Structure 1
Amino acid sequence: MGDLCVGPFVRAIRPDGVAIWTEWSHACEVTLTVTEADQNAGQEPSSLVTHVRTVLVGGRYYALSQLTGLQPATWYTYQVAASEQQKEPEPAVAETTIQCFRTLDLPDAQNTLRLAYGSCRKLSGIEPDALSAFGSWLTASVEQRESVWPHILLLIGDQIYADDFTGRRKQKRFHNQPDPEAEPVATQSFEDFALMYQEAWTDQGVRQVFAVLPTYMIFDDHEISNGWNTSSMWRANALQHGFERALVDGLVAYWVYQGWGNIGMNAPDEHDLLTIMQQAARDDQDVLEDLRACIRKVIYQEQALKWHYTIPTMPPLFVADVRSDRPAILDGRDPANVAPRIMSMEQMEELRAWMKEHAEVTTLLVSSVPAILPSLISFAEYIMGMRPLHGNAVGSLQRFGHMLAGMQQKVALRMSFDHWPVFGATWRELVKLFATRTRDIIILSGDVHFSYAIQARRTLFPSRRRPTIYQLVASPFKNELEQRDKRLISGTAWMKRAIYGGLYTSILPMRQEKSTKRVPHDMLFQNVVALVTLSPQTHKKGQYAIRQVYLGVKNGKSEEVGSTDIHT
């Protein structure tokens, strides 16, 4: 009988369906039983049941159980069980873990949407674990789940730290210029990455969070290595120094543990990796090499593979890939001659079309790295991303522009500038896209190891008829900003407003818990989970009032440590 190793995790959610992800010790048939939670007294409980075979990847067994035919905005309890050779299935999870989920509202319901989000969870640190503590917060508030629990959880980067192989061995970090003498990260295999996910996700508090909240994920750099794809030459340098296997196996592991659950309810023919998983469930063959072959083609730019996706919430949500989709130079071109981009033109075009489709409503954009940072930092990144002579100059001006671009790139790498403003081409496209909007854009990000909220407009003069970008940031779950960086960021906090790159930005007030006093610098430097509540404005169709609350850890428990209210 297969034992449950990791999970169960509630993953993709719809008004009429759900996907539950699990990892098992042996091959088995997984039975998912779902029962409506709030049936009338005396009514015989009716359940829906589905069965799937495990999928074999690298000697490990996984299942993504999908069930449709559910009612919207409804609470369900569920059980997962495993059986072999026609034996009766046995429950796989201890009764101490609450297992339930709520389906999404119908898009036209015009109800409040609650989100939880955050990023950056490094197990080796001694800091309190905000995501684990959040599990106890959910358990304590289970009776009020309809009014206080978030409808979905967004994990937006650095769910593992692949360059911090805790408990087994330390890997040397691969930066933009790999050290040929260093222990090669290519020794990291799929099994190495899988062990890291298993270690990260078997914590009881985290397991409880994933067992009840529909969870969507996207990678940032530490899923592969610190600084992954920071520059357009990163991939070429990595491949030249023997890092292919780490890149390939890291992305295979990301797919199995994170990406599959994001889009698992889509039709298999919509994604090459879904097709491979569907075939694997039928023939019981290990598909590690098939997944590797597909992703290897992506690494060498022989094939495109989408990691970005949308979620059918209201307001609607687009989860962008701003890490792996950065164009890489593999053909020897000089990077100083290439306009820096944080995502491909193809993904930007999809984002543009999606924004147009939802032109009459506030939209949510998830970007693992922030688009807008505190004023002085964001301005400095924007300056390093400018290419005023790119594509226009000739002769000596062209040579000067080439030299200037090379200097800008060196400074950006030295200062770890890795966010939207330093990628000039896509920054201009984002600002141009914003200029076409009549409704607000809310961007949710992590990465930077401190938390804040900033607004940006196209004009100095606020107007009800002009939309606003609200950049909300929550980071980390469990990590710590180095004191040097903390002093640097705090030292620049005096600059609350800035004008650059077509935007006027200003930091938003953050209030202390149960107080009108502001948090110092309007920034939090501690481990948090952020809760965002979006309430539809009855007098402004398509607009939402926004409240963000940060839950920190005090005496091992989740407690409010700061909040920001935005009235649009």
Structure 2
Amino acid sequence: MAQIVLGPMLRRVDESTAAVWVETDSPCRVGVLDASAATFTVHGHHYALVEVSGLAPGSVTPYTVTLDGRTAWPEADSEFPPPVIRTVNPDGDHRLVLGSCRVSADEQYGDARFGVDMLAAFAHQLAADGDGTRPDALLMLGDQVYADIPPEEVRQFIRDRRDVSVPPGEEIADFEEYAELYRQSWAQPAVRWLLSTVPMLAIFDDHDLRDDWNTSMAWRDTMLKQPWWKRRVIAGLGSYWIYQHLGNMSPKDRAEDPLFAALRESDGDGAAALDEFAWRAWEDSTSVRWSFQQEFGGTRLIMLDSRCARDLTPRKRRIVDEPEWDWFREQATAECDQLLIASSVPVLLPTGLHYVESWNEAVCDGVWGKTFAKLAEKIRQTIDLEHWGAFRESFQRMSFLIMERVRGNWGKAPAAVVFLSGDVHYSYLAKARIRSARGMVHQVTCSAIRHPLPRLLRWANVVGSVRVAGIFGYLLARLARVHRTPFSWRMNRGPWFDNALATVDLSGRKTRARWHTASVAEPKRLRELGSAELS
């Protein structure tokens, strides 16, 4: 008799359809409401994605999950309410919750090292408040799992199956270990319930694969020399497709996806097809598009891959390659009330750090000669100088596109263009200053869900956020012949170093952002860090 291993997870939900993802311990048929799907098998694991259709816009529908006709979820003794599917109301208000960087620790709610788990805290708050505060989506903006820093239970799992004195040691090595990492990360009762009742949309960042993933061509060349790396890449990108990307797709995209069709139609294990796809995605970033978009009434959300789609060619670096940029430009120039651009790494960093990253890229590219270029590459990898400021050509493109949008040069200007990001392990709001703009531009950053910065690095980031640091960074960049940015911006909320989740509320052409945290002492109660009107 089949059992659920992980899930159910409510994935993309629009006005009339919903996707429910499940992992089971044996082949079976998974049912949700009037829809069902047979499991498919990959590396000995069994998965199903059930597509529910015909739902009414703005409706709230309780659901159960059946395996071969037998009810398997929700559990009878759960402390949480039954899960529901809440469809998007195109004429109503909308709420998105976002965050990034979550380590899975042994203690369910919080501990001294990693602090409170904001997903668990949010789950309890949501269960207490009821459906009235339920968001339209939970945006996971990277580092959903830490393949290079797995929790102790996963490290024990690794030690029990192979010799950890051989690289990659206690890091994740293959698909089986990734599957265990995802299970340990998302099977805690509060988190499991949250993911069963709030639609999740996700994009990866470096730790989903490994720290500094695609920082530079030098980093990439170094990793390719490691005998264990190919296996890790195949497992990392393959498991990401299964556990995260599959649920991001629209019903149309899934229906047209050749890999999904191959896995469902396979009579046996589809590991070979998935592994081939994953290695091709690593070798050729143009072979797959991880980015996607979704509408929430008059708001357009674009989840942009700024990690795997990078072009790392020295002196021609792009944080998104040409095909990805062409797709993004088409999506970002469509008319909408608000434009939300989710990039795992911030577009608008504190200005001092932005200019230091631009200086570093210029020096890496040889503006100060070969000796300094080698030193700059070491600095780039050591202190993670890899955000949009470190890819100047892409930043310029993004800047001019956004300036044209908010000035109304491509149709009606959106009331707000908001960058949504994580990665940096602190939260803040930055506001751009653009002349003749008819809409506002902000950077909303929320990180970490559960992985706070050490105290020394907190002070370093506070110093980097002050005005004098911006002046220093600009002067340093000018020494490397880096020009001033097309517009200026400054941080006007934060930085906050608490574990946090951010909420973006959308009402017509009005947008508001709030940040919340919780404490280990009171891990089930949220308190507000700050808020701001964005339009």
User: What TM-score results when the alignment is normalised by the length of structure 2?
Assistant: 0.86
SS in 1 for 2:381: helix
CA apart distance, 1:296:
1.4
| 1:32 paired residue number | 32
The 10-residue stretch of structure 1 (230-239 or 62-71) with the greater mean CA deviation from structure 2: 230-239
Alignment partner for residue 130 of structure 1, among 107, 118, 125? 118
Q: Report the AA paired with residue 140 of structure 1.
A: A
Per-residue CA distance 1:72-117 (angstroms, 9 max, x = gap): 111111110101xxxx4233331324210210123xx2x3221101
Q: Distance in 1 between matches of 2:367 and 2:200?
A: 49
CA apart distance, 1:416:
1.4
| 2:402 paired residue number | 434
Contact (CA 8 Å) 1:163, 1:171: kept in 2 or not? no
Alignment partner for residue 149 of structure 2, among 164, 173, 190? 164
Q: Report the AA paired with residue 356 of structure 2.
A: A
For the pair 1:198 / 2:183, whether they are aligned, the reply is: yes
| 1:5 paired residue number | 5
User: What TM-score results when the alignment is normalised by the length of structure 1?
Assistant: 0.82
CA apart distance, 1:482:
1.7
Contact (CA 8 Å) 1:58, 1:288: kept in 2 or not? yes
Alignment partner for residue 412 of structure 1, among 380, 390, 394? 380
Contact (CA 8 Å) 1:457, 1:467: kept in 2 or not? no
Contact (CA 8 Å) 1:15, 1:105: kept in 2 or not? yes
Contact (CA 8 Å) 1:100, 1:212: kept in 2 or not? yes
Q: Distance in 1 between matches of 2:157 and 2:309?
A: 25
CA apart distance, 1:544:
2.4
Q: Distance in 2 between matches of 1:199 and 1:51?
A: 26
**RMSD value over aligned CA atoms?**
2.6
Name the CA shift for 1:264/1:501 in 2 (closer, same or farther; >3 Å): same
CA apart distance, 1:429:
0.9
CA apart distance, 1:118:
0.5
For the pair 1:447 / 2:428, whether they are aligned, the reply is: no
For the pair 1:305 / 2:304, whether they are aligned, the reply is: no
SS in 2 for 1:290: helix
Alignment partner for residue 548 of structure 1, among 503, 509, 514? 514
| 1:346 paired residue number | 323
CA apart distance, 1:133:
1.3
Give runs of aligned pairs for residues 17-28 of structure 1, distance below 5 A: 17-28=17-28
CA apart distance, 1:217:
0.7
Q: Report the AA paired with residue 141 of structure 1.
A: D
For the pair 1:93 / 2:79, whether they are aligned, the reply is: no
Name the CA shift for 1:370/1:78 in 2 (closer, same or farther; >3 Å): same
| 1:81 paired residue number | 66
Contact (CA 8 Å) 2:62, 2:83: kept in 1 or not? yes
For the pair 1:56 / 2:37, whether they are aligned, the reply is: no
| 2:353 paired residue number | 377
For the pair 1:114 / 2:95, whether they are aligned, the reply is: yes
Identity %: 25
| 1:14 paired residue number | 14
CA apart distance, 1:222:
0.8
Alignment partner for residue 271 of structure 1, among 257, 282, 287? 257
Alignment partner for residue 251 of structure 1, among 211, 226, 237? 237
Q: Distance in 2 between matches of 1:482 and 1:202?
A: 27
| 1:394 paired residue number | none
Alignment partner for residue 326 of structure 1, among 305, 310, 315? 310
Structure 1, gaps ≥5 residues long: 34-48, 173-179, 330-334, 391-397, 510-521, 537-542
For the pair 1:531 / 2:506, whether they are aligned, the reply is: no
Q: Distance in 1 between matches of 2:104 and 2:534?
A: 37
Per-residue CA distance 1:252-309 (angstroms, 9 max, x = gap): 11111101111162344643332333324xx3x2111110012212222286111111
Contact (CA 8 Å) 2:143, 2:208: kept in 1 or not? yes
For the pair 1:482 / 2:454, whether they are aligned, the reply is: yes
| 1:564 paired residue number | 531
CA apart distance, 1:365:
0.5
Contact (CA 8 Å) 1:23, 1:62: kept in 2 or not? yes
Contact (CA 8 Å) 1:297, 1:303: kept in 2 or not? no
Q: Distance in 2 between matches of 1:276 and 1:501?
A: 47
Give runs of aligned pairs for residues 391-402 of structure 1, distance below 5 A: none
SS in 2 for 1:436: helix
Q: Distance in 1 between matches of 2:254 and 2:65?
A: 23
Name the CA shift for 1:187/1:502 in 2 (closer, same or farther; >3 Å): closer
Q: Report the AA paired with residue 557 of structure 1.
A: K
For the pair 1:222 / 2:207, whether they are aligned, the reply is: yes
Larger CA Rg, structure 1 vs 2: 1
Name the CA shift for 1:52/1:365 in 2 (closer, same or farther; >3 Å): same
CA apart distance, 1:491:
2.2
Contact (CA 8 Å) 2:74, 2:83: kept in 1 or not? no
Q: Report the AA paired with residue 319 of structure 1.
A: M
| 2:275 paired residue number | 292
Per-residue CA distance 1:392-422 (angstroms, 9 max, x = gap): xxxxxx8856666555434322321121111
| 1:237 paired residue number | 222
CA apart distance, 1:29:
0.8
| 2:489 paired residue number | 505
SS in 2 for 1:27: coil
Q: Distance in 1 between matches of 2:319 and 2:201?
A: 21
Name the CA shift for 1:419/1:567 in 2 (closer, same or farther; >3 Å): closer
CA apart distance, 1:531:
1.4
Per-residue CA distance 1:460-511 (angstroms, 9 max, x = gap): xxx5x443321001111111202221110122333287784112111123xx
Per-residue CA distance 1:340-388 (angstroms, 9 max, x = gap): 2211111111111112223x53200110111111232222223323479
| 1:540 paired residue number | none
For the pair 1:104 / 2:58, whether they are aligned, the reply is: no
Contact (CA 8 Å) 1:268, 1:274: kept in 2 or not? yes
SS in 2 for 1:558: coil
Q: Distance in 1 between matches of 2:320 and 2:285?
A: 17
CA apart distance, 1:549:
3.2
SS in 1 for 2:525: strand
Contact (CA 8 Å) 2:442, 2:534: kept in 1 or not? no
Aligned length: 495
Per-residue CA distance 1:508-564 (angstroms, 9 max, x = gap): 23xxxxxxxxxxxx221111111111222xxxxxx4232323233351123123122
Name the CA shift for 1:171/1:77 in 2 (closer, same or farther; >3 Å): closer
| 2:409 paired residue number | none
Name the CA shift for 1:302/1:261 in 2 (closer, same or farther; >3 Å): closer
SS in 2 for 1:413: helix
Q: Distance in 1 between matches of 2:450 and 2:285?
A: 37
CA apart distance, 1:567:
4.9
For the pair 1:210 / 2:195, whether they are aligned, the reply is: yes
Contact (CA 8 Å) 1:268, 1:278: kept in 2 or not? no
Name the CA shift for 1:103/1:57 in 2 (closer, same or farther; >3 Å): same
Name the CA shift for 1:279/1:328 in 2 (closer, same or farther; >3 Å): farther
For the pair 1:355 / 2:355, whether they are aligned, the reply is: no
Q: Distance in 2 between matches of 1:446 and 1:422?
A: 16
Q: Distance in 1 between matches of 2:171 and 2:234?
A: 9
